[in-house]
A and B are shown apart, each in its own frame.
Chain A
Amino acid sequence: MPHGAPLELTGVTVTYGPYDAVRDLDLRANAGEVLCVLGPSGCGKSTLLRAVAGLEPSRTGTIRLDDRQLDGLRPDQRDVGLMFQDHALFPHRTVADNVAFGPRMRGLDRRSVADRVDDALRLVDLTDLAGRRITELSGGEQQRVALARAVAPRPKLLMLDEPLGSLDRALQARLLDDLTRVFSELGTTVLHVTHDQQEALAVADRVAVMRAGRVEQLGSPDELWRGPRTAFVARFLGLEHVVRLTVRDGVADSPWGPLAVPGTRDGDHDVVLLPEALRVIDAGEPRRDDELAVTGRIVGRRFAGDHLRVTVDPGTGPTLTVPVWRGSVPEPGSDLELALDPQAARILEPETTTRSTR
């Protein structure tokens, strides 16, 4: 299998109708890396893929794949693969004919085309369905055919637009595993677009959180999770506790006690509590001395499968939500004692983007 090529976007702007869907965007995916673009619908992430594929013209900037500048090239000259949202499979062709389309367009002889189809179908474990009509396939099978079709020409860059979007939850989880396996087997550079933060964190080497046509933050899943740069990134990753606090001498004055935010200039700041900041105190794990004690009344309970998400109103300040993994099920109305790690708070940069997302 061929190795991927680095992709580099510099100052790319794409106008879509009356909007700049992508605005002055810089992004680099390293060779063989899985880069996830994460953002809400309408943030320009699909337009970004279409621009790299050559389906939308970029108004400014340059797009380079390997050492080749792609700007001005037609889609069929770019040597990229794109898996469309909802797949866009050719309904008048069989599974094998869909997969064979790319290799055929590249002028391969019949034997090589057949080999490529076999390889691609084996990769997604669909060899048995080669002769089927597209309309006879389930959603999950269609998704795998779409993936096989995109990889069959062995593009230097593979792009996926919401590949799991139209599938149900159970199928998503299974196909997520398939995707990660296929990515590592192919070794190609992957640009994966999604609005689902779990999907992004699961498959990506690095994640670019996109908002209103720009990259708001770029980093590994771990970096993002431990250090979201803005409130938008924090909320989009599912971090619920963002509060506005006053900081003096490296200490934030919170309703629950002083939080350590060293190196921060004095003034009002948005602060996020990282997920590990809060835990329920029980007999097995008493509160450490450096932790703050927060006691509040339980006001909400949400079943989340293997744990409960319990919402507590501490009386002062906003409510706090913590996972409860075991032990007795806390009743709404009763009190719950929490420990808050004052080291697990992060200062967020003020929001610079004034334009709202579409």
Chain B
Amino acid sequence: MKLTRLDNSSGTKCYLVKFRKTTFLLDCGLSTKSILDFCPRRLPAAKECFAYAEDVGTKMTSEAAHNQPVYEVCALSEVDLESVDAILISDFTEMLALPYITELSHFRGNIYATEPTVALARQACEELLAADQALRLETLSTISKRKRRRQSNPQDAPQVASPSTSRAIFSRDEMLASLSKVSGVHYSQDVSIAGGLLKATAFAGGLHLGSASWVIEGGGRKLVYMGSASLVDAKCCSLDRNPLRFADALLLSSVALPPPPNQDRGTLSDVQEALVRKPSLSLLSQPPTPASQDRHSAFKAIPNAVTDVVRDGGNVLLPVGSGDLVHELIDEIASALKAARLEAKPLYFVSPAAQRSIAHASINMEWMTPAQRDKVYDKASAPYDSTALAAEGRLRLLSDLQQLPAGALTDGGCVIFTAALSVRAGPTAQVLRAWGADPSSLLVVTEPLLADDCALLEATNHLCGSFRMQLLKCVVDRRPTPFEIMPLLRYLKPRTLAVPSELWEALLAVPAAARASLGTEDTVAIPPRERVSVSLPARAVPVAASSALALQVQLTELPGTSEGHRGEGSLRVSRVSANLSVRDGSFALTAPDPGATAHFPKASRLIWGQLTLDGYARALKEQNFDAVTICAVRGEQLPLAIRESTEEDGALVSVTWGHHLGKVWMTANATHIVSNQPVLRFMLQEALFTQLHVL
């Protein structure tokens, strides 16, 4: 199996797999990190901030190379997409590059993703398109000026992602056309790839609604792709572990990495230090990488913080986007507010996908935990409270900020959920402009990408103190940490473990005691944009043998054999001639037609055992040969047919039968019978068979 990693460690995933003459892609993510390369025009003190960011070496200005936002797609141009049979998607965050593949290439294969994944991807795309639009409006007007300066000084030009992978955003029509080509699947539903050569099955991943681990089987071998696993108990179906066990190869990419110590936004910690010294901004940041379960409980701190702020008349902005996290947050915050008797305070969900997100969240109980399902079964109420909140009017769904009731931003005690792509543009930036100077308001950051983006806000604050909002950084990353993944791997017992190289380094950083005895035979680290081979064992293929064939078989005991080392009792064997029928890549054995024997049946026989000259001579004598003489022969004098297989010395047995002559050269493990008389040859062979086992 050949595994090519097409992403380059920017957080998205994309793998090209060649397995059993089939080519398929696992995920096709789109990195929106490049949004961070743009500088907002109207954020407080943008200019100073811009300069500062440039000084500390962030990539904030690389937009100078382009006049429009670009996104980093995996190295799809290196792949002949026409030869790709299928794309398997593990999570809605990992399929945003799909329009580039389906609409802008010759790809003609099938795409499989779970049904909620497709729906959530649609919402994510709507938000991405809106954010892109907003960014185009917000991009600094000074681009051209800066660009000129850059060109005059090419050495300074920041390293821009290679043009082959940077693309402008797709259109909405392309997105819709693309998503309509995805075949929605259910968990545990088998789909066949390349006409049945492979069978792929999605199992619950646990990260988001509809997240899937894929099990791909073919030729008796099993490949598992864990692209979106989580061990945290959320409201979506939790990780289905058992089907992932005993894989021949496990490709694991769902691990929360600790923040790289030497990231290119290296000044972030400096900024933070500066912030801590500055009393105006209360940074409620969480410790860097607690275990995901702790991180999850940290997430529980959000409703409390929101309630406190709202009680004091402050406003809260939560850029979380339209995943399933937003519904969990809405549920938690609404019930916390209710408990604090603040249910009159308005909640707004501002996103182009808000309406769709709420509608969709109410109808997917099949993809959630039994507790959520019981809510539907027993009370006929939607699995998320957000549905009811929206129906009651407590939660207002707005596609953009213009629809916000007048005064909502200034009245205080308002909670707004927005899309999570950037704090620099769109509704999020608009709200920040309104509330940025208000120290009683709170910004809650849950997205890792946005946490990076907050460096900008911090820089703003650092420089001019104009940004006074409280900031609660509570990155919700439910993927298991390297430490947590170890017991899981021990349980799954893959034969070969394949992981992205940076993840492998993180796994190696885990204390040896926790790493011990994973039970895998082999580990393959895959560097970005590299191809690795994973050797899979040749496995026997289960084939259905018809009962007619089974009845023909007569098993005989095979003396002196045992199956490997654990054999107790001897094997029972039979020689079988059958017809193998091939259909959809699967096989069946049937009894051969009695009339139609093969043109030249091979008389393949397995002959083995201990041969003694005496015994053979005795057997010959019993067959009434006229004369039997035995003489020793040196190895080099033996006929070539024997010398091919052995160097030992042997013996020559000469017989006569009437006027016919026969000679038999023999060594311990080879016999060569020579006679010009077929009957004599046959008799010599039969005498031999009385001494040996024949199958």
> Do A and B make up one complex?
no
| A residues adjacent to B (C-beta < 8 A) | none
